[in-house]
Structure 1
Amino acid sequence: MAYFERLDETRFRATEHTSGAWREDEQHIAPALGLLAHVVERDAAARREDVLVASRLSYDILGTVPVAEVGTTVTVLRAGRTIELVEASMTHGGRTVAVLRAWLLQTRDSSSVAGTSVAPVPGPGELPAWTPSETWPGGFIGTVELRRHLEGPGRGWFWVRTPHALLDDEPVGATARFAGLLDIANGMTVRADPALVHFPNVDLTAHLLRVPEGEWLGIDASQTFGDNGIGLTSSTLHDAAGPLGSLAQSLTVRPRGA
């Protein structure tokens, strides 16, 4: 079973595999973010003969959404020959629940100046398997496979993959497939027991160097809680080819009873 079923050109039905970690009758937002990346890429492919690559995926999470039917819209905010800014929204029951703004860039040969100071992380074959459902409930968490090293509270690195498609019977690009896993970064190297502290993210922004490669997404994550109810999960992203980009999530930190 895939995470979503297409109903028509703009509407989708979430399956039980999207059920969330904070509440199982609500969607884990991760697959929904992947779906928004997919509708952006599908719209671009329908409008253009060339291929632009997503260099930034910036999401605002405006509310919770049940495991139910959702609608999507896509708008080109800044059209261009080599650069576009595209916005996609997800709605449920007439309410907007998530918005994506994506920068799409034309690629060109820059191999003569390519390089990075980002250190690689040990590959998935070098890390022990870990079952995230030991910490988190929900259908989505139950669908992923993880290899993890936990350095300490709020600090560690891991690799994640899923055998489930974002959509059945429809091609989905590597960027959208990886985007459907990004939100998991906030919960795999936790600083506090989620039974005692809630720390959902209100946004997610990923900057990508290229189209991802392979089936595993690597995330080197650091989670910080301030003393004012605000937190941050900052990560570097990796894939089979090496460093892939960066990720940031703003958190609302809510200790039980506070």
Structure 2
Amino acid sequence: MGPARYRVAAVTGAFYSHDGGHFVPSELTRGPWDPGAQHAGPPSALLGRAIERCEPRAGLRVGRITFEILGPVPLAPLTVEASVVRPGRSVEMLEAALAGPEGELMRARAWRVQVGDLELDSVDQPPPGPQGAEPRPFFPTGEEVRYHTAMEYRFVSGGFLEPGPATVWMRMRGPLVEGEQPTPLQRVLVAADSGNGVSAALDWRAYLFINTDLSVHLLRPPDGEWVCLDAVTHVNGLGLSDTALWDEHGRIGRAAQTLLVRRRA
């Protein structure tokens, strides 16, 4: 029996269309590891969207959000639910779950933290901006429309076909959900899951390096459309991708991924 076939939204430039209580993925969500599964960036952003909309409060923003990837996310209609699981005046924890026809697929937990009025000057200088960076070829998947075609990449250093650390600017070519303007949080979450891909330590043609999770810590949301990933992947039995996150004004946070590493069959 072949893989299940589900209704997929037409390629409109958005990752998802909203159909009643479901989010219907377009071909732009399709990931590099399995033609029947989504890249984890768009569903992570969908969970982030739900958390943003769950009992929002002025003066608080997401300081950390962690995603547990419980299994491949199929190109199938999805539901997302979010709730506050630990309320508080200064900090609160929220949880969101993403489910498909076969059950729960991803879960997110986020700390929403009260924003203070203290800001220290950063000694970090952002990488050179996207204007002077350049596109690089993607892994040879043989697919014309996938997640990578929904994103614009500008590499300062490294590249998809060059194993090792990489610094790359990324921006969405279209919205997360059709008819909606992406929020700053959605922009960074769509991109942050690419740390292991842009900084692959092993030959993509010979190895799989699939993340089981994604944890994103944010000092502040990005300003503008571009998000920079300054990423490195380490391998010692399993893998760890460590990614500094920037916008054109400076550091915005950090992302980490735990990786299952194995030879391709």
Shift of 1:83: 1.3
1:44 is the counterpart of 2:50: no
- CA deviations on 1:89-136 (whole Å, 9 max, x unpaired) are 10112421111111111212103xx13344421211222222325478
Which residue matches 1:4? 16
Which residue matches 1:146? 153
Which residue among 81, 86, 94 is the counterpart of 2:94? 86
Q: Distance in 2 between matches of 1:51 and 1:3?
A: 30
Which residue among 176, 180, 183 is the counterpart of 2:190? 180
Q: Which moved more, 1:100-109 or 1:135-144?
A: 135-144
TM-score by length of 2: 0.88
Judged with a 3 Å threshold, the aligned counterparts in structure 2 of structure 1 residues 237 and 135 are, in CA distance, closer, same or farther, namely: farther
Residues 220 and 235, structure 1, Cα contact 8 Å, conserved in 2: yes
- What letter is aligned with 2:202? A
- What letter is aligned with 1:6? H
Which residue among 80, 105, 121 is the counterpart of 1:72? 80
Q: Distance in 2 between matches of 1:136 and 1:51?
A: 46
1:128 is the counterpart of 2:146: no
SS at match of 1:38: helix
Residues 133 and 141, structure 1, Cα contact 8 Å, conserved in 2: no
- CA deviations on 1:31-72 (whole Å, 9 max, x unpaired) are 000010001101133xx4x24211101111010021110111
Q: Distance in 1 between matches of 2:141 and 2:196?
A: 13
Residues 132 and 146, structure 1, Cα contact 8 Å, conserved in 2: no
- What letter is aligned with 1:4? Y
- CA deviations on 1:193-239 (whole Å, 9 max, x unpaired) are 2221001000000100012111111011111111x2x0011010001
Residues 154 and 224, structure 1, Cα contact 8 Å, conserved in 2: no
Which residue matches 1:212? 222
Q: Distance in 1 between matches of 2:202 and 2:107?
A: 28
Which residue among 29, 37, 40 is the counterpart of 1:29? 40
- What letter is aligned with 1:56? R
Shift of 1:154: 2.1
Shift of 1:176: 1.6
Residues 131 and 145, structure 1, Cα contact 8 Å, conserved in 2: no
Gaps of 5+ in 1: none
- CA deviations on 1:165-217 (whole Å, 9 max, x unpaired) are 00122344211222112111110122222221001000000100012111111
Could you list the structure 1 runs, at least 4 aligned residues long, displaced by more than 3 angstroms after superposition. Answer: 115-119, 133-138
Q: Distance in 1 between matches of 2:59 and 2:39?
A: 30
Residues 132 and 142, structure 1, Cα contact 8 Å, conserved in 2: no
Judged with a 3 Å threshold, the aligned counterparts in structure 2 of structure 1 residues 145 and 51 are, in CA distance, closer, same or farther, namely: same
Which residue matches 1:115? 121
Q: Distance in 2 between matches of 1:188 and 1:20?
A: 14
| Number of residue pairs the alignment of both structures matches | 249
Which residue matches 1:249? 257
